């Protein structure tokens, strides 16, 4: 599987474009501002079709162009069942997150919960709810042979963790999510966060100063 990484939007949000082996379909993880232009251009160049968009959570910097991409590509949007208001209501974002609401509302096609498995051509993604950063945060664990990749949104970063001072945040819940849903994965699992560089479960267990195993 090929993983393309783009740092986009107003605050450098990571967007990941996945090309599973043996198919011309692509999966996008998070859709920041500018992804509605950047992603279709890359898909056209690589002769791929966007079939699915996975949202790690509903904060505006991760879904700004999700609605536009849905309309232009027909891709199915996957998002956490507890994040419906964040994903589908720009006005809710404006009231609760002080976000500029000048973006298209997205529509959840498949609402996922803890333990769900998404099966697509060439790819299976295990879904884990990870409370604490915001309601509806989902971790997507994808296996590629003996390699495992975790797309973690803003739950954990290299040497840091997601903020918990916004609507729906709770630091104790975040710590529980990291310990129970991330630190229990194989040490060599690569973590692709919503901001910053990739890391691994082993590195974070050993050195993350905010959450110890």
- HSE value, Cβ hemisphere, 13 Å, CA-based, for 64: 21
pLDDT at 28: 98
Neighbours of 85 (CB within 10 A): 17
Q: Which domains does the chain have, with CATH numbers?
A: 2-207 (3.60.15.10)
Q: What's the rounded Cα separation, in Å, for the pair 196 and 185?
A: 21
Whose tokens are 């998002």? That residue is 79
pLDDT at 103 over 90: no
How high is the mean pLDDT of the chain?
96
Give pLDDT tens digits for 41-75: 999 999 999 999 999 999 999 999 999 999 999 99
* DSSP symbols for 130-158: -TTSSTT-EEEEEEETTEEEEEEETSEET
Q: Which is nearest to 81 in space by CA: 56, 113, 52, 53?
A: 113
pLDDT at 101 over 70: no
Whose tokens are 């040490």? That residue is 187
Q: Judge contact between 45 and 78, C-beta under 8 A.
A: no
Give the pairing type, strands 123-129 and 117-120.
Answer: antiparallel
Residue 155 in 3-state DSSP?
Answer: coil
Q: pLDDT band for position 97 (50/70/90)?
A: confident
Between the CA of residue 102 and those of 17, 35, 66, 124, 195, what are the distances in Å? 24, 15, 13, 34, 22
Q: What's the rounded Cα separation, in Å, for the pair 139 and 151?
A: 6
Q: What's the rounded Cα separation, in Å, for the pair 167 and 86?
A: 10
pLDDT at 181 over 70: yes
- HSE value, Cβ hemisphere, 13 Å, CA-based, for 57: 29
Report how far apart the first and last C-alpha atoms of the chain are (Å, whole number). Answer: 30
pLDDT at 172: 98
pLDDT at 98 over 80: no
Neighbours of 153 (CB within 10 A): 32
Tell me the pTM.
Answer: 0.97
């Amino acid at each position: 599987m090929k993983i393309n990484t783009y740092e986009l939007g107003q605050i450098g949000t990571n967007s990941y474009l996945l090309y599973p082996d043996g198919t011309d379909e692509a999966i996008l993880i998070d859709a920041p501002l500018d992804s509605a232009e950047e992603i279709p251009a890359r898909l056209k160049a690589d002769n791929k079709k966007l079939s699915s968009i996975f949202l790690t959570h509903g904060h505006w910097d991760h879904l700004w162009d999700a609605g536009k991409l849905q309309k232009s590509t027909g891709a199915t949007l996957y998002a956490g069942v507890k994040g419906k208001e964040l994903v589908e209501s720009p006005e809710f974002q404006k009231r609760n997150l002080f976000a500029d609401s000048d973006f298209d509302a997205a529509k959840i096609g498949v609402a996922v919960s803890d333990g769900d498995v998404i099966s697509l051509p060439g790819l299976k993604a295990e879904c884990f709810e990870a409370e604490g950063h915001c309601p509806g945060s989902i971790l997507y664990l994808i296996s590629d042979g003996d390699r495992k990749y975790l797309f973690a949104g803003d739950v954990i970063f290299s040497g840091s963790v997601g903020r918990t001072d916004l609507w729906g945040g709770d630091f104790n819940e975040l710590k529980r999510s990291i310990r129970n849903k991330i630190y229990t994965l194989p040490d060599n699992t690569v973590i692709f966060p919503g901001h910053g560089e990739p890391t691994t479960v082993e590195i974070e267990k050993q050195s993350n100063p905010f959450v110890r195993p």
